[in-house]
Every structure is written in C-alpha cells, then in structure tokens.
C-alpha cells in the first residue's frame, strides 16, 4: 500500500535533533527526503551520542536515531555555486525544512520569498529557538536552554532539589513532532489551495505547549506550578515505596479512587468529590504508604491493573525496552551491516500504526554526501560538472 507522503520531496537542511526528527517522520511515511549538509561542517548530531567511537566516525547515535530513509548530499551553501545547486534542487521540491539562526538563510539569498519565486508550491518550514521576530528572535538555544527559559526546569524536581532538566531531550523531539504535524497540515492545505506556505515554528512555543495545563492554571490563579516531584494533587495519584521498590499509583478520577479504596478494604476512605480528596490528602497518603509496603511493586501492579486501577512500578530504560508489549507495537527497527557503522543498532520508528500504508524503514542512515552524485545527476549535472564541484569543495 502506498504510504501517505509518497511522491513528496523534502529538502532537509537541518541539524541536531528537532529538525532532522521532523524530516525523519515524513521519510518513514514515504517522502523522498534529501538531507543537505556542509561538506566542511556536517550535522553536529553526527558527532554526538553515547558511543564515542561512532561520534568520532561521524555516525553518532544522535544522528542514527533520525537518519534513516534519507539521502544525503554534501553541499556548501556559503558558495555561490552551492546556492545555485540548492535552488535547482528546490525547484524539484515540495518542502524545505531548515533550523538555522533566524536570518541566516535570508542572508544567503535563500529566504521564503526567494525560494517560493522558484517553486510557488513550496512549503518552507523554519524551526528556531524563539521564532522569527520579537525581542528574542535572534537568540539561539538548544533543548536544555529552552527548558530553562520556558519554566519547565523550575517546575521539575522536588521542593528540596530543583530546578532539574528532563532526563530526555523532550523539547527537541516534541518540536520535531510538532513540525511534522505542521508540515502535514500545510501539505493538506496545499491540496485545496494549490499554494505554498511559510511555517514559523519556535521551540519555546512548543515547550510552553508541553506545560499547557500549567499555563492555563497560572493565568487563572496567579500561582505558578511548584516542583512537587512524584507527589501529585491527589494521594491516589502518587508514588509509593513497596516491599521491594517504587510504585506509581494513578487512580485519578473519582471512579478509580473509589475502586482503589474498595479493593484495599478501606471503603471508609472513598470520597464523593475532589474537594474532599484535597482536604484529606495527608491522611490518605499515610494510609496508602502503610498498606503498599506489604507487597512488592510487581505484585501491586498486577493486582491493580487486573482490577482496572492504573498503576505501574518504576522501570529503568533497559527493562522498558525488554517489555514484551513493545514487540507488538512495531516501534523499533534494528539495523545490521550499515556503511560507516560497525555492529548493529536499533532506532525508534513512528509512535503510531496505520492499518495500511504505515511507517516503513527502507534505507539506513547515510554517511555524509553518500548520495551527492546521484542527486546531482537527477538535477541534470554531468560527471564533468560534478568533478569540478568536488575539486572546488562545493560538494
């Protein structure tokens, strides 16, 4: 079955995590994604990740995570001839994604206005730290800097230990996901209007979206969110020590808390409304803490889940990846014998399944410029011209 973005060409002029992840998602669903990198200064994610040897070889795990299904060309956009080649490539494209400092592409003569004059149907997506324009528009940042700026770090941790950065680069991946959504929206709109689109996407905005309920709460009450760690508003939504480890209990609504207390033989603790739950929170915590120490976290998880009460013991990533549930989700893809990588590796694919035409991994992450010659030949350049570009280090 044909995948949703079959026939769509995406020019991926991005680096690090957010931009490449957005293009990767479209590539999984059939888009022809051409990654453009400076031959003298390739995507820094190639030099980043937990395997230092791979990072030294330009195939770091940060890059491998979102490099599959793409073709790679090495092209120096700081040269006039490089920009000429790029514009020729844009004439064949549906989408451009770039995440350089606001104004950088404009300064190269590669603005939305310039490129849409070449390709009127072009969807031009710019991803930046704070967006184009405004008092912070020219500033740059990475995931952790945005977490600090958007208030996420201040609300993460405990009263004693804060602020704390998320354990994973959540803002980067959320921005990449939002960009994929924005591109899908623009492509759908173009089917109706036949017009291109300009997308201005800020990581800062995405970070505040991740804290959406806190934003609404603060603007209503004037009370900023506090770093409460694993303690939530209701006692039945907190983390508890069991006989052998920690258990996260998630009896959130009134029906679930009624079910929880009834199962535990403490029907007198059931509340009729959420105000009562707030008022009796400390006593509920004390009662639950005593009861839950009687069994292991695994036993409680099995017991509660069997009785439709959300609960889960705390797992580290290795155990989470070993969960048999994961084998049913088609979330992970294992690569073997990939050029530039010694040994196998596994990457996440897409976080949803389609009944037909879903995500597929069709090619491994390429080395820098692996497809330069092939793409340039598609654009009409002959072997002599390509050799000349290479000699001048344009490619």
Tens of pLDDT, residue by residue, the chain (395 residues)? 899 999 999 999 999 999 999 999 999 999 999 999 999 999 999 999 999 999 999 999 999 999 999 999 999 999 999 999 999 999 999 999 999 999 999 999 999 999 999 999 999 999 999 999 999 999 999 999 999 999 999 999 999 999 999 999 999 999 999 999 999 999 999 999 999 999 999 999 999 999 999 999 999 999 999 999 999 999 999 999 999 999 999 999 999 999 999 999 999 999 999 999 999 999 999 999 999 999 999 999 999 999 999 999 999 999 999 999 999 999 999 999 999 999 999 999 999 999 999 999 999 999 999 999 999 999 999 999 999 999 999 99
Long-range CB contacts (within 8 A, 24+) of 383-391: 389/81, 389/85
Per-residue tokens: 135: 């008092």
Same fold across 9-210+329-391 and 235-319: no
If we measure between CA atoms, which residue out of 232, 62, 225 comes closest to residue 150? 225
Per-residue tokens: 37: 């990198």
With tokens 């451009």, the residue in question is 96
Cis peptide bond prior to 163, omega within 30° of 0: yes
- Catalytically active residues are 172
For domain 235-319, give the fold. formyl-coa transferase, domain 3 (3.30.1540)
Indicate the burial class of 223 (C-beta count within 10 angstroms; 0-12, 13-18, 19 or more): exposed
- What residues pair up with 298 in beta bridges, in sequence order? none
CA distance 217 to 22: 30
Alpha-carbon torsion 296, 302, 304, 307, what sign?
negative
pTM metric for this prediction = 0.96
Angstrom distances, CA of residue 169 to CA of 89, 162, 208, 314: 32, 18, 15, 20
Alpha-carbon torsion 259, 261, 267, 272, what sign?
negative
CA distance 45 to 134: 28
Q: What is the pLDDT of residue 1?
A: 82
CATH number of 9-210+329-391: 3.40.50.10540
Each domain of the chain, given as residue ranges in start order, spans 9-210+329-391, 235-319
Counting every residue written for the chain, the total comes to 395
């Amino acid at each position: 079955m044909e995948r949703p973005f079959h026939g769509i060409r995406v020019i991926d002029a991005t680096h690090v995590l957010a931009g490449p992840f957005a293009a990767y998602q479209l590539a999984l669903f059939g888009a022809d994604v051409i990654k453009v990198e400076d031959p003298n200064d390739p995507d820094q994610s190639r030099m980043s990740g937990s395997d230092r040897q791979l990072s030294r070889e330009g195939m770091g795990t940060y890059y491998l995570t979102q490099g599959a299904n793409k073709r790679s060309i090495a092209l120096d956009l700081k040269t006039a001839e490089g920009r000429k080649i790029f514009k020729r490539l844009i004439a064949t494209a549906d989408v451009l994604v770039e995440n350089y400092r606001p104004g950088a592409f404009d300064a190269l003569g590669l603005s939305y206005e310039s490129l849409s004059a070449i390709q009127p149907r072009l969807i031009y997506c710019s991803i930046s730290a704070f967006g184009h324009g405004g008092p912070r528009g020219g500033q740059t940042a990475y995931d952790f800097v945005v977490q600090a700026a958007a208030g996420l770090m201040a609300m993460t941790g405990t009263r004693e230990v804060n602020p704390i950065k998320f354990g994973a680069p959540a803002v980067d991946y959320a921005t990449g996901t939002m960009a994929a959504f924005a591109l899908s929206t623009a492509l759908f709109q173009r089917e109706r209007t036949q017009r291109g689109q300009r997308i201005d996407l800020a990581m800062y905005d995405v970070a505040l979206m991740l804290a959406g309920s806190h934003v609404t709460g603060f603007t209503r009450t004037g009370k900023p969110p506090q770093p409460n760690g694993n303690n939530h508003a209701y006692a039945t939504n907190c983390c508890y020590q069991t006989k052998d480890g920690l258990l996260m209990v998630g009896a959130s609504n009134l029906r679930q808390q009624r079910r929880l207390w009834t199962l535990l033989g403490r029907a007198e603790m059931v509340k009729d409304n959420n105000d009562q739950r707030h008022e009796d929170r400390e006593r509920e915590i004390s009662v639950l803490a005593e009861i839950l120490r009687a069994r292991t976290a695994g036993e409680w998880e099995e017991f509660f889940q069997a009785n439709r009460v959300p609960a889960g013991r705390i797992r580290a990533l290795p155990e989470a990846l070993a969960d048999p549930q994961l084998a049913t989700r088609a979330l992970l893809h294992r690569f073997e014998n990939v050029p530039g990588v010694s040994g196998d590796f596994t990457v996440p694919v897409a976080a949803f399944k389609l009944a037909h035409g879903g995500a597929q991994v069709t090619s491994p992450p390429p080395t820098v410029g692996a497809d330069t010659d092939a793409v340039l030949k598609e654009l009409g350049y002959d072997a002599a011209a390509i050799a000349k570009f290479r000699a001048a280090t344009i490619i």
